[in-house]
Amino acid sequence: MSTTQYGILVVEDDFRIADIHKAFIEQSDGFYVVDMARNGSEAKALMAQHAEAIQLILLDAYLPDVEGLELLWAIRRDYVHVDIVMVTAAREVETISEALRGGVFDYLIKPIEATRMTQMLTRFRREREALANRAEMSQDELDHVLARLQPGEPQRVAARTLPKGIDRLTLRRVVDSLAAECDSQTAMQVAQVMGASRSTARRYLEFLVAEQAVNAEIGYGDVGRPERRYRLLESSSTWLESL
């Protein structure tokens, strides 16, 4: 389990969507929701109050009192330590282009799938931890952290670039436990096969989700409670060859 906790501000005027985002975040190791804002004014007030606790903002492009892109530039100016992810129904290339020019960490188009949100959060944590633990980097190391690959090229893992807390042999055991079953598996099922704790299995599974080698989906257990289930992707074979 990650020892560093990253605070997130959710800026979303639809409380139902905001609650969904919060649920996604609370399922991800190393993150918590500092607060939720329904409009730009609330977002600015919460940033002024909790600036040191917030490292990431999930920002909608459509807010009742301000354009999301206008708020993006204001936050960029006043809070340089904060990363921003646009989470919006806006698909216009003009909006996407301006958001990218504004330095957004990611751009997620509604409706958001849990897997895509998890990939973004895991990549955010990986980049923050990698930059926090190093004084300098080589080009290869930086490219791996930033995941700068050609479109469609599977992301590969080399021993020297595995993130802190991810062991090659344990990772291989997680992959093997998934490969041995036809059905998707919960973190607890994987943990039992590995002989490890549930939190350890989940950390490795979420890493594989972020690397796009494993798919995560919401299923329901015997008592009807939602649970995350994991399945190897068919496209993961090339990536797994690097383990």
Q: Encode pLDDT of 214-240 as tens digits.
A: 888 887 665 566 788 898 887 666 556
Confidence of residue 148 (pLDDT cuts 50, 70, 90): very low
pLDDT surpassing 90 at residue 108? yes
Stated length of the chain: 243
Strands 214-220 and 226-232: antiparallel
3-state secondary structure of 215: strand
Residue 174 in contact with residue 143, Cβ under 8 Å? Answer: no
Give residue 151's pLDDT: 46
Angle between helices 198-210 and 114-132 (to 10 degrees): 100
Give residue 223's pLDDT: 58
CA dist., res. 127 & res. 125, Å (int): 6
Confidence of residue 52 (pLDDT cuts 50, 70, 90): very high
**How many Cβ atoms are within 10 Å of 124's Cβ, its own excluded?**
22
pLDDT tens digits along 161-200? 677 778 888 888 898 888 888 788 999 999 998 888 999 9
Lowest mean pLDDT among 46-50, 140-144, 195-199: 140-144
Query: Which residues are paired to 33 by β-bridges?
Result: 8
The secondary structure of residue 51, as a DSSP letter, is G
Q: What is the pTM of this model?
A: 0.62
pLDDT surpassing 60 at residue 157? no
Give residue 76's pLDDT: 92
